[in-house]
Amino acid sequence: MFGLIDHVGVAVKDLDAAIQLYETTLGMPLVHRETVEEQGVEAVLLDVGPCHVELLRPLGEKTPVGKFLTRKGPGLHHVAYRVEDIEAALAELKARDVELIDAEPRTGIRGSRVAFLHPRATDGVLTEIVEPAEDH
Ligand code: CO
């Protein structure tokens, strides 16, 4: 079902400082920056081979990532697996009784379609599945 790890999501308080670390110090090319209103974040993608690091700055304290930062502080937020067909993947997960946060796909970064599995179903790891836009 899962093609590869598409990205790991990292919650940050200061996006520019995080970019300084990942792009300049660690040398990962920054390939995309976008405000994703639907997820309440400003996000950037940095390339790591065919995969990415996704840095997430919450747009407010009441957003999911904002609440995460308040509760746990900056750090690893989620793991995202790439799928070819997100509807098929969601149907398969439902058939396997995996608890979902998103029963239907929603808009992700860079035109992707994404859905989250509930961390209760995945040993505490917030898990995302992502179908990239066709040109990525
Ligand atoms: Co993500």
Query: What pLDDT digit, counting tens, does each position of 63-79 carry?
Result: 999 999 999 999 999 99
Q: 127-131 and 75-82: which strand pairing?
A: parallel
Ligand 1 ion local residues (Cβ < 5 A): 9, 54, 80, 128
18 to 24, 29, 41: CA distances (angstroms): 10, 13, 14
**For residue 82, pLDDT beyond 80:** yes
Model confidence pLDDT, tens digit, residues 4-28: 999 999 999 999 999 999 999 999 9
Helix (H, G, I), strand (E, B) or coil at 115: strand
pTM across the whole model:
0.93
pLDDT band at 38 (very low <50, low <70, confident <90, very high): confident
**For residue 96, pLDDT beyond 90:** yes
CA of 7 to the centre of ligand 1 (A): 6
CA of 86 to the centre of ligand 1 (A): 14
Q: Mean pLDDT over residues 26-41, rounded? A: 95
Tokens of 124: 């505490």
CA of 25 to the centre of ligand 1 (A): 22
Q: Mean pLDDT over residues 98-109, rounded? A: 95
CA of 82 to the centre of ligand 1 (A): 10
CA of 109 to the centre of ligand 1 (A): 8
